[in-house]
Amino acid sequence: MKMPRLLALLLVLLMLTVSAAAEETAEKDYTHLTVGNTTPFEGNFFTPMWGNITSDLDVRLLIHGYNLIEWNSEAGTFMIDPSVVSGMVVTENAAGDHTYTLAIYSDLYYSDGTRVTARDYAFSILLSLAPQIRELGGKNRPLEYLLGYQDYVSGRTPYLSGVRVLSDLQFSVTINHEYLPFFYELGWLDCTPCPASVIAPGCTVRDDGNGVYLTPGLSAEALRTTLLDAGSGYLSHPSVTSGPYRLISYDGKKAEMEINPRYKGNSKGIRPSIETITVETVTSEEMPELLEEGKVSLLNKCVSPEAVQKMTELASHGAIVSSTYPRTGCAFLAFCCERDAVASLPVRQAIAYCLDKPGYVADTAGNYGLRVDGYYGLGQWMVQIVNGTLAYPVAEPADGADAAAQAAYADEMAAWQRLTLSDVPVYDLNLEEAKRYLENDGWTLNRDGQTYDAARDDVRCKQIGGKLVALDLTLLCPEENGQAGALKAHLADNLAKAGICLTVETAPMEQVLSRYYNREARGCDLIYMASNFDGVFDPSAAFEPGGAHNATRIEDRPLYEAALNMRRTAPDDLLGYVTGWISFQKRFQQTVPMIPLYSGVYFDFYPRELQNYDVSAGLSWSQAIVSATYAPVPEEAADGETAAGESFTEN
């Protein structure tokens, strides 16, 4: 009798355990997903014209939709979004201008039920060019390629001839032939609608046959309220939007969103199923605990070696899953080239020679980062082709092809195989070379104007414009990412040996970005930044001498021309584009507007209940989450899992 009684007792205990587990499962809210990101918000949830930090961009992609185009990672190019555009005709006039005439569907709606029309796309473009944006501290989008751009922004014409509204559901965009060819030409149709009724009440988009304009014109004071008000402005609290989610609240550290019931669906016809999403700022140190305790369900873009290792250990038990994907950007030190000392190329080169890049990368990125020596990220297709991790885009000749076809194939393959970054300059730690560059550039004095003596003097100086300038430099980095110690150990200490004093200062990310984008006085010579590149890799605006988007303020015409030559490649000439990309990288390394540090891989960690989450280098978490589901995993599926991993934080 004892055995049956013991068995019964075990069954009771098992039932209680199962009941408790079921109760715990039932308590888990699968309608809500909390996402943790180490990059603090700036609150630019409407437009990148006030900054484009990755955490803001992720929210922006969730709440704004119906872009005319989308990136197709499989094809490696931009394509028209078939859920938005019902038809498109492309024509070319005698001058060579390209006109895209587009028709949009009639079932596109904002979250308040208002229908999206052609005028909403035209308003988005006109607002991007408005001088009032600059008055309010923003930066206009560089849309110089639009026909009539110069006449419109200069005030010579009251209308933008390159954009026409033809009806409520039809409009056209004309690309000026002077900017053609352009490798990513279709990328110039990048445009999401925005509601004039909310941002500029009373303003209407008109087209009298010559092009679009606003009537009445925009007012900076009115936009200061509708766009920039801290509690209700459309920049940080966009109320009427068109994406898969709509913003419920934002308090500076946390953004809460819910499904937009008016959202039609993405290009695959998919609407989100997770009812609410909260995105909040977390630190790398607290990531593992938050994930293990279920306080955060998705940790995005993890790069901290310590945090990744701890969470990988959690994933080894099967309840947590990880996704890895190469980063499309890199970390770098940007020079403020308007400053007397670092305006000198030899000084920038000397500083590059003082960086122990392998040691720095090992300390900050561990096994998850790889040094880069150029303006690129490991996730970019150009890098992968040159490095041999992506197949050359050359079609093999068909079976039975003649000798001419075989020879053409062999020639094209040989041309791709000749592409290499071996001629791109690399700066390895070399203090003697750094000293030589400085001495040849005239940095041979001390603070008293006497001959510099390394045994006695702390810093090198030089007479510039009648004043004695010391190589007494300041490097600014965000206090949130903990880079200061590594920068001192692997750069500042070496610089001191070469006669350069470097003070590493930290500030909140928002302030660092403001100084990087020249929105306030810089007061520093170098700025630590990390950025992911857009799908349209066109760095010409970033290095245009005197350009508004030139953050480093470098004045190097050959660098700018190298960027222009790359972009002026025909869309079907992949070989020409990559060849131009290598030439640009070479000039970039020769002029050193920045010191590139490392790229690497991102890790996303999440519970196994989050399924169909196909994040990748070409698809952000906010785009991938639309197709994902969040629900209990069937017991048999859970039992079958034995291993983890499906294979800007901005550090």
* Cα diameter, the chain: 105
290/307 same-domain check: yes
- Residue 176 in any domain: the answer is yes
pLDDT confidence tier of residue 558, bands split at 50, 70 and 90:
very high
pLDDT digits over 309-321, tens only? 999 998 888 889 9
Nearest-angstrom CA–CA distance, 60 and 621:
12
Distance (Å, whole) CA 329 – CA 54: 11
Residue 617, pLDDT score: 65
In a domain, 568, yes or no: yes
Q: How many CB atoms lie within 10 A of CB 476?
A: 26
619 falls within a domain: yes
Per-residue pLDDT at 77 exceeds 90: no
pLDDT at 281: 93
Nearest by Cα to 37 from 329, 240, 376, 296: 296
Residue 13 falls inside a structural domain: no
Q: Is residue 9 part of a domain?
A: no
Q: Quick one: 368 and 433 in the same domain? A: yes
pLDDT tens digit sequence for 86-103: 999 999 999 999 999 999
> Is pLDDT above 80 for 84?
yes
pLDDT at position 141 over 80? yes
Asked whether residue 161 carries a pLDDT value surpassing 90, the answer given is: yes
**What is the number of other CB atoms lying within 10 angstroms of the CB of residue 363?**
17
421-430 burial, b if ≥16 CB within 10 A, otherwise e?
beebbebebb
Is 43 within a domain?
Answer: no
Find where tokens 């991102």 sit: 602
Please check whether residues 112 and 218 belong to one and the same domain. Answer: yes
Same domain, 105 and 250: no
Is the predicted pLDDT of residue 647 greater than 70, yes or no?
Answer: no
User: From residue 76, how far is each of 5, 428, 646 by CA, in Å?
Assistant: 67, 33, 22
Quote the pLDDT of residue 386. Answer: 96
* CB contact burial 53-80 (16+ within 10 A = b; e otherwise): bbbbbbbbbbbbbbbbbbbeeeebbbeb
The verdict on 519 and 544 lying in the same domain is: yes
* Model pLDDT, residue 72: 79
Count of CB atoms situated within 10 Å of the CB of 134: 13
392-431 residue pLDDT tens: 999 999 999 999 999 999 999 999 999 999 999 999 999 9
What are 582-633's pLDDT values in tens digits?
Answer: 999 999 999 999 999 999 999 999 999 999 999 986 788 999 999 999 999 8
Instruction: Render pLDDT for 206-232 as a digit per residue (tens, 0 to 9).
Output: 999 999 999 999 999 999 999 999 999
> Is the same domain home to 419 and 448?
yes
What pLDDT is attached to residue 619?
A: 80
pLDDT band at 536; cut points 50, 70, 90: confident
Q: For 424-461, write each residue's pLDDT tens digit.
A: 999 999 999 999 999 999 999 999 999 999 999 999 99
3-state secondary structure of 327: coil
CB atoms under 10 Å from CB of 123, counted, come to 24
**Cα four-point dihedral sign 423, 424, 428, 434:** positive
Same domain? 616 vs 594: no
pLDDT for residue 378 = 94
Which position has the higher pLDDT, 647 or 315? 315
User: What CA–CA distance (Å, rounded) separates 36 from 622?
Assistant: 12
Helix (H) or strand (E) holding 278: strand 276-281
273 has pLDDT over 50 = yes
Q: Are both 157 and 139 inside the same structural domain?
A: yes
The enclosing domain of 297 has a CATH number of: 3.40.190.10
Q: What is the CATH number of the domain that holds 352?
A: 3.10.105.10
Give the rounded percent of residues in the chain with a pLDDT score beyond 90: 82
d(CA 313, CA 272): 31
Q: What is the CATH number of the domain that holds 84?
A: 3.90.76.10
- Note the pLDDT tens digit of each residue in 346-374: 999 999 999 999 999 999 998 899 999 99
Q: Residue 607: give the domain boundaries.
A: 28-38+245-325+602-640
What are the angstrom distances between the C-alpha of 266 and each of 65, 186, 273, 279?
A: 8, 19, 13, 21
Residue at which a domain ends, from 165, 194, 225: 225
Arithmetic mean of pLDDT, 569-590 = 96
For residue 559, pLDDT over 80 is answered with yes
pLDDT given at position 509: 87
**Structurally, how many domains does the chain consist of?**
3
Same domain, 255 and 218: no
Q: Report the pLDDT value the prediction gives residue 86, as an integer from 0 to 100.
A: 98
Task: Select from 225, 257, 286 the last residue of a domain.
Answer: 225
Residue linked to tokens 């709440």: 63
pLDDT score of 74: 64
Indicate whether 478 pLDDT > 80.
yes
- Going by pLDDT thresholds of 50, 70 and 90, the confidence category of residue 1 is very low
Least confident of 7-16, 322-331, 490-499, 619-628: 7-16
Q: How many CA atoms lie within 13 A of 651 on its CB side?
A: 32
> Does the pLDDT of residue 510 top 50, yes or no?
yes
Relative to beta strand 204-207, strand 212-215 is: antiparallel
| 318 and 358 fall within a common domain | no
Those residues with Cβ within 8 angstroms of residue 209's Cβ, 6 or more apart along the chain or in another chain: none
Same domain, 104 and 187: yes
Average pLDDT over all residues of the chain: 91
pLDDT tops 50 at residue 5: no
Report residue 49 as tokens.
């014209």
Q: How confident is the model at residue 532 (pLDDT cuts 50, 70, 90)?
A: confident
CB 185 within 8 A of CB 175: yes
Helix (H, G, I), strand (E, B) or coil at 308: helix
**Residue with token string 């507007």:** 593
Backbone torsions φ then ψ of 46, nearest 5 degrees: -110, -45
Strands 170-175 and 212-215: unpaired
The pLDDT-based confidence of 635 (bands split at 50, 70, 90) is: low
Q: Is pLDDT of 16 > 70?
A: no
- Asked whether the CA dihedral 645, 648, 650, 651 is positive or negative, the reply is positive
pLDDT at 534: 85
Asked whether residue 43 carries a pLDDT value surpassing 80, the answer given is yes
Query: Is the model's pLDDT at 4 over the cut of 60?
Result: no
Helix (H/G/I), strand (E/B), else coil: 428: coil
Domain contains 47: no
User: Within this chain, do residues 307 and 341 fall inside the same structural domain, yes or no?
Assistant: no
Which residues, 6+ apart, have CB-to-CB distance to 624 below 8 Å?
613, 614, 615, 616
pLDDT reported for residue 9: 37
C-alpha closest to that of 120 among 21, 240, 209, 11:
240
Gyration radius (Cα) of the chain, Å: 27
Rama region for 113: left / alpha / beta (φ>0; ψ in -120 to 50; rest): left
Query: CA 219 to CA 223: how far, in whole Å?
Result: 6
The reply to whether 468 falls in a domain is yes
